[in-house]
Amino acid sequence: MFYRLRRNLKYFKFHKRIQRLLDTPPLIIQDAHQQDSPLNIVSMVAGYDVKLYILAIKAFYRRIGHGRITAITDGVSAEGKALLEKHIPGIEIVPVETIDTGSIQRGGTWERLLFCIDRSATHFVIQLDADVLCVGPMQEVLDAVQANRAFTLAEGIPKKPLNSWVADAYAKKSDNIVIDFEMQGPQYPDSDKILYLRGSSGFAGFARGAIDRAFVQDFYGKALQLMGPRWKEWGTEQISSNFCIANSPDSFGLPWPRYMTWEHHRIPPDISLMHFLGYCRFDDDVLVNYANREIDAMLGVK
């Protein structure tokens, strides 16, 4: 209860400081028929994240320049959906409860991953979290879409066989499910032949035709057997996203720290993108300051 109150207060203060966002013009979609675009930008949007998502997609779209836009909505009110449709003409809205997860668990953003995988049969899919803000050039992303190369946010560690992550995992000194999975990696079937990449599902690109739902279901079943009850914890969808990216042909981690998950890091002058985790999202006014720079650009303020 107190967590929700604190969260709501932080969002209230943030929205007040970026209120000019609602004065920015609607997106001009470059594809006359969004459904015909080879690119699909997918986001999962909670009710309290509608304005943050509008900021995220506008900042991203003005750099990527094209693509079909899809919002998987979770608890978004009619008013929130109207705001999305006003600022993002032609947006595809998919209620999270309409996504079939089959034999895979619901919740924990698994619906989002499965939607991205299913849609990647016909599109290059970029998964963009509402708390991701693009603030600079994104040539690597543009090139990846053009070359149909999967990517994700990473920590500067390259992808490598799953059984080779134990030392990196122990160095983290954490019992987080992601780290625990990496420590158990050598026990996964054929772990010396299967690749893994420690990344974030907050910003990821799924190559067209690279991975299908059967691949995810196979991984899910084997990981459940390996990890037991822990596989129901929050974070397993991120592990699966990393696994899908790593085992896509010619995939890569975006260069760090220009593409970073911000956790009080020093920000380089050539920063391109930041993912703001919930526990520190509004700290030090970093997000709000960069947000207002983006809003100035959208409004044509010099």
CATH of the domain at 67: 3.90.550
Query: Residue 211 domain-assigned?
Result: yes
- What local confidence, expressed as pLDDT, does residue 164 receive? 96
Domain range spanning residue 116? 20-130+138-159+197-256
Query: Residue 269 domain-assigned?
Result: no
- What local confidence, expressed as pLDDT, does residue 34 receive? 53
Query: Residue 72 domain-assigned?
Result: yes
Rounded-to-integer distance, Cα 103 and Cα 221, Å: 9
Query: Do 159 and 185 form a contact (C-beta atoms < 8 A)?
Result: no
Summarize pLDDT for 154-205 with one digit per residue, the tens: 988 899 999 999 999 989 889 999 999 999 999 999 999 999 999 999 999 9
160, HSE (Cβ side, Cα atoms, 13 Å): 12
Query: Residue 58 domain-assigned?
Result: yes
Query: Residue 181 domain-assigned?
Result: no
Query: Residue 182 domain-assigned?
Result: no
- What local confidence, expressed as pLDDT, does residue 1 receive? 62
Single-letter residue type at 59 = A
Number of domains comprising the chain? 1
pLDDT at 35 over 60: no
pLDDT at 32 over 50: no
Least confident span in 27-36, 155-164, 211-220, 237-246: 27-36
Query: Residue 112 domain-assigned?
Result: yes
The residues near 51 (Cβ < 8 Å, ≥ 6 apart) are 15, 18, 21, 22, 83
pLDDT band at 5 (very low <50, low <70, confident <90, very high): confident
Query: Residue 297 domain-assigned?
Result: no
pTM over 0.85: yes
Rounded-to-integer distance, Cα 82 and Cα 11, Å: 20
- What local confidence, expressed as pLDDT, does residue 56 receive? 98
- What local confidence, expressed as pLDDT, does residue 278 receive? 86
